[in-house]
Amino acid sequence: MQRKIMHNPRKYSSQVVDGFERAPSRAMLYPVGFKKEDFNKPQVGIASTWSMVTPCNMHINKLADEASKGVNAAGGKAVIFNTITISDGISMGSEGMKYSLVSREVIADSIETVVGCQGFDGVVAIGGCDKNMPGCIIGLARLNRPSIFVYGGTIQPGKNHTDVVSVFEAVGQFANHTIDAIELENIEKTAIPGPGSCGGMYTANTMASAIEALGMSLPNSSAQDAISDDKNNDCVQAGQAVLNLLNKDIKPRDIMTMKAFENAITVIIALGGSTNAVLHLIAMASAAGVNLKIDDFTRIGKKIPVIADLKPSGKYMMSELVEIGGTLPLMKMLLDAGLLHGDCLTVTGKTLVENLENVKPYADSQEIIRTLDNPIKKDSHLRILRGNLATDGAVAKITGKEGLSFKGNAKCFSREEDALEAILNNQITAGDVIVIRYEGPVGGPGMREMLAPTSAVMGKGLGGKVALITDGRFSGGTHGFVVGHITPEAFKGGVLAVVEDGDEILIDAKNNILELLVEQTIIDKRLSNWTQPKPNYTKGVLAKFAKLAKSASEGAVTD
């Protein structure tokens, strides 16, 4: 069906700069580079997440300039503005990590605030780290103005095929005396060679792939090196594409449908993506008015195999997937097998099937992406578990390499740092289930990622011998037998709060069960004697988040 052409692509900017009474507004725009003729052009905000606090985003100011060139060449007027970013990798394992998930909401709020205030007609948002991407998409979905997302791109591998997770795991190896201080320092100095997001199929590359499959990025935007001509061209083309979206009146909610979210889930399962995708996709869908639930991941996951041999549980890095053609041949494979909805609209103005029409398959010699009939795992690695420990759900990432079930005895910790100390000091032994609680969206607050303890477990050589469960979450770099997002969280009186040392816990990723193997009468008695702890923060942004955040199973949204 032919879409109605928008007669006024300046719907919002005209309210700000048209007419004699808007002379003060125009006067303030001349000093920032506007010329008289620019007031008759659609204004496009370029939301840049540039910052020097992390290598993931240190190059995005240059990408924003490229996107501006594309907007201006296509007949618009680009205006760059900034929003924040923080670094999970730097803050991981510290109190600062509590701000990570909060920053997703701050980013969404700030993009909505600037665009809504300034009257931009369209938006190009450029993100390069875990929280930037869902934060950008949430902001764009709320605004629902013609918009496009650009991924900042992946980093190159470090020396000896290392990355940031290699450094975290080296900490455990050093504590286990399998490497010395010089080896640890060498890994530390060489694992992260320059700009770009963490190099495996961790949360950044997972979310970039999901957003492309969702239709909100240009084809292959998710599979380009951060420093490359392809990424520069992607930015220019995105700037041009947003003018096409303006002219055709295509908005984010036209693209971000339920079927589009199903496509995103399908692609991240095939890639072996991060558990954070569950949290973030639910939050993005909520902003778009789409009723996505955690059980949709189970429904879709029953028919989607894991076929990408990518880190953390696999061998290869995103830069190596880029070299063999990126994500497009994978998506074409899934489409041809009837596993993607080809009729979904995308930011090209075309459907997914039209975008993939001329995509060539991977070369037979490549080993990164398997065929659908020879998968790494025949169904999803993202498991939604339920049971008396998680009546509202929990999320596990089980590739099968660590087995499909684990039964062990609890060792309980009320904060991440205490668990990490116990791991490094040899207080965790084979058969233990490490329980880290009061780290949920409200209890933490902020739902910290547990990369430090899970990496220490790997570095200690306990990867297949212990499990870890938490109402916090996990970095995309985590692997092993881990369960996060336990809901209800401990702070809200979930059963996790009354687990005691020595209690037996069952994790069954085949039947999707997370169970405390204690008589219900005993659990009920413990709960009747439980008292909610005092909140860790009563003022500031963390306190605001704790007051507003919904459960992890609802995306921990604040809106």
The residues assigned a catalytic role are 475
- Sign of the Cα torsion 543, 548, 550, 552 reads negative
Q: How many angstroms separate the Cα of 188 from the Cα of each of 103, 162, 165, 227, 452?
A: 26, 10, 10, 22, 15
Cis check for the bond before 445: say yes or no (omega within 30 of 0). yes
| Tokens at 67, concatenated | 């996107």
| Listed residue (464, 442, 469) closest to 453, CA to CA | 469
With contact defined as beta carbons under 8 Å apart, do 214 and 222 qualify?
no
**Which neighbouring-strand residues pair with 468?**
434, 482
Q: Which conformational region is residue 184 in: left (phi greater than 0), alpha (psi within -120 to 50 degrees), or beta?
A: alpha
147 forms beta bridges with: 123
70 close to 514: Cβ distance less than 8 angstroms:
no
Instruction: Tokens for 60, please give them.
Output: 């995005």
The Cα–Cα gap between 27 and 23 comes to: 6
Q: How far apart are CA 329 and CA 427, in angstroms?
A: 47
Backbone angles phi, psi at 472, to 5 degrees: -80, -155
Coil/strand/helix, residue 520:
helix
The neighbour count for residue 517, using CB atoms within 10 Å, is 13
Whether residue 214 contacts residue 207, with contact meaning beta carbons closer than 8 Å, is answered with: no
Comparing C-alpha atoms, which of 297, 477, 323, 498 is closest to residue 393? 297
Q: CA-CA distance, 19 to 334, in Å (whole number)?
A: 52
Kind and range of the H or E run holding 387: strand 382-387
The angle that helices 276-288 and 100-118 make with each other, rounded to 10 degrees, is: 30
Beta-bridge partner residues of 484? 395
237, two tokens:
């083309």
